[in-house]
């Protein structure tokens, strides 16, 4: 187990950690270590450990006030490209002790970021980084006309909501069924999306048809009681509905009709159990199968 950090006596900007304070507990119930720190200005303040070691907090607040007093320019509310300045942020202190003013900004994509004042005013920083990613995407290969399964890419469009990575463009695709859908490059290239959703529905219907080729009738899956259906692969007796009971030292024959299990009997030999099972199938299954076939034939005649 990692030993907790001991910050006692260590300096972080203008702050010197004195001793542990009462832990900070988030709304979610997570506990974080806090330290009582003394600022060079003489004020004491409690700071979360992660804010100290990351350099996010380097004073009681006096450092920020000193910089604002020294430079005086307030950028709050101003726009720089896609960024709107929300408030001043903790300044950056270089290893040589030089102070650089920073601002908390909100990007048009919804993300927040901290930017240096000179980067904002010089035009070097104009977004949280999403515009750079968008520019890279715009330079990528044009996917118009490409096919992915049943989808044909028509062209690039804007997404209704940006992705978590800030991406704001997608691709409009037309499915062979006629529906149109907007997907990201990642969704298309991954191969996981091959249609507007109709392919999945068609596959599901096909699977249902294949698995229930003989259909359902009177609460019974007819395909499971078909006499031509072989025993399960794990059957040790080789006869459907017949198994050996080690406790009773008998062959036991059972049959399930309309989801109800019926014990046919217990027998000394496998031949006797198999014969009884066969007779039970003729008694319970044969009438159901014949009735189902008759109804299907009548249904076919009506459609014809």
pLDDT band at 214 (very low <50, low <70, confident <90, very high): very low
pLDDT at 276 over 90: yes
Q: How far apart are CA 123 and CA 131, in angstroms?
A: 13
Q: What pLDDT does 17 receive?
A: 94
Q: Rounded CA gap, 66 and 115, in Å?
A: 18
269: confidence class by pLDDT, cuts 50, 70, 90: very high
Mean pLDDT to the nearest integer, 150-163: 85
Contact between residue 75 and residue 117 where contact means Cβ atoms under 8 Å apart:
yes
- Residue 127: pLDDT above 90? no
Q: What is the pLDDT of residue 74?
A: 85
β-pair partners for 31: 25
Tell me the whole-structure pTM to 2 decimals: 0.30
Average pLDDT of the residues in 67-83: 78
Provide the token pair at 138.
Answer: 């715009």
Write down the mean pLDDT value for the chain.
82
Q: Are 107 and 128 in contact (CB under 8 A)?
A: yes
Task: For residue 297, give the H/E element and its range.
Answer: helix 270-303
**Alpha-carbon torsion (238, 243, 248, 250), positive or negative:** negative
| Mean local confidence (pLDDT), 179-192 | 87
């Amino acid at each position: 187990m990692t030993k907790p950090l001991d910050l006692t006596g260590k300096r972080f900007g203008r702050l010197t950690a004195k001793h542990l304070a009462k832990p900070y507990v988030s709304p979610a119930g997570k506990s974080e270590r806090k330290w009582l720190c003394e600022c060079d200005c003489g004020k004491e303040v409690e700071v979360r450990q992660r804010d100290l070691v990351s350099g996010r907090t380097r004073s009681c607040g006096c450092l920020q006030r000193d910089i604002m007093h020294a430079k005086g320019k307030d950028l709050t509310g101003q726009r720089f490209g896609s960024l709107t300045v929300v408030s001043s942020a903790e300044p950056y202190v270089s290893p040589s002790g030089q102070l650089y003013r920073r601002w908390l900004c909100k990007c048009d994509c919804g993300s927040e970021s901290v930017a240096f004042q000179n980067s904002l005013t010089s035009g070097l920083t104009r977004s949280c980084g999403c515009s750079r990613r968008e520019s890279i995407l715009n330079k990528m290969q044009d996917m118009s006309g490409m096919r992915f399964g049943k989808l044909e890419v028509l062209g690039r469009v804007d997404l209704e909501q940006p992705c978590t990575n800030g991406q704001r463009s997608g691709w409009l695709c037309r499915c062979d069924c006629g529906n149109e859908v907007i997907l990201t490059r990642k969704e298309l290239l991954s191969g996981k999306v091959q249609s507007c959703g109709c392919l999945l529905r068609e596959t599901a219907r096909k699977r249902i048809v294949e698995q229930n080729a003989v259909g359902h009738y009177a609460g019974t899956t007819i395909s499971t009681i078909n006499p031509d259906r072989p025993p399960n692969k794990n059957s040790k007796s080789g006869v459907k509905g017949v198994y050996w009971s080690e406790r009773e030292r008998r062959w036991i024959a059972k049959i399930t009709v309309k989801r109800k299990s019926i014990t046919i009997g217990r027998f000394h030999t496998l031949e006797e159990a198999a014969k009884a099972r066969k007779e039970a199938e003729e008694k319970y299954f044969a009438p159901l199968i014949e009735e189902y076939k008759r109804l299907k034939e009548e249904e076919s005649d009506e459609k014809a």
